[in-house]
Amino acid sequence: MQLTDTQQVDYTIEVDDTKGYAVPGAALAASVDNPAVATVTQTGSTFTVVAGQPGSAVVTFTVGGLTATEAIDVVAGGVATIKVTAGTPVDQPVAVPVVPAATAVVASPVTPPEPVVSSDLTATSPVPTPSIATPVDPTVTSPTAVPATDATPPAAPVVAPDPVDVPAPVVPASVIAADPTVAPQTDTTA
């Protein structure tokens, strides 16, 4: 039992025999092991325990050879009990993973090869070469930009050069004569 230093509590003692019948007029007694914390007084079968200074005490009630005890805790006035009430359990919030910013790639040309020289020693345009993709700033937009979809870099796209801007190489007549699958061409650069 917890009391403030300004409270008291009454205990009523009933004595029964082995068959459960009340034993009227039984000799009752009570004592306290720490009288600075609590005192006890008797009126018939009622015992009043009065709180004293803060602390702990045990009140012992006796009838013949039988005893019963009650622990008393006295606290300073104004704080009698601490009641803790739990709320309803709920699931913890799920952490949302942070997705890294997309990375874009743009095609960039490979180092151009040396010019091709025909058998008549006329210089022609270099043979077109494929381009490779390289990472660039994700804030730059480009028609060839490819956003990354995960942490693994995407396969580099191969972008062929525009065939309109690349003149066809000049094939010498000696090659045409040796290979019937090559169509004759006219040199328009002269």
What local confidence, expressed as pLDDT, does residue 52 receive? 95
Domain ranges of the chain: 2-75, 102-148
Amino acid, single-letter form, for residue 13: I
User: Which residue's entry shows tokens 């009838």?
Assistant: 63
Q: In the predicted model, what is the mean pLDDT of the chain?
A: 74
pLDDT at 32 > cutoff 90: yes
Amino acid, single-letter form, for residue 129: T
Rounded CA gap, 160 and 163, in Å?
A: 8
Neighbouring residues of 27: CB distance < 8 A, sequence distance ≥ 6: 63, 64
What local confidence, expressed as pLDDT, does residue 84 receive? 83
Q: Does residue 84 or residue 32 have the better pLDDT?
A: 32
Give 74-116 pLDDT, tens digit per residue: 998 865 567 888 889 998 888 877 766 666 555 555 566 666 5
Neighbouring residues of 21: CB distance < 8 A, sequence distance ≥ 6: none
- HSE (side-chain half, CA atoms, 13 Å) at 55: 13
pLDDT at 136 > cutoff 60: no
pLDDT at 18 > cutoff 80: yes
Q: Does residue 100 or residue 131 have the better pLDDT?
A: 100
Highest mean pLDDT among 25-29, 51-55, 130-134, 153-157: 51-55
What local confidence, expressed as pLDDT, does residue 166 receive? 56
Amino acid, single-letter form, for residue 17: D
Is CATH 3.40.190.10 the classification given to domain 2-75? no
pLDDT at 172 > cutoff 70: no
What local confidence, expressed as pLDDT, does residue 153 receive? 58
Q: Does residue 79 or residue 66 have the better pLDDT?
A: 66
Rounded CA gap, 167 and 187, in Å?
A: 11
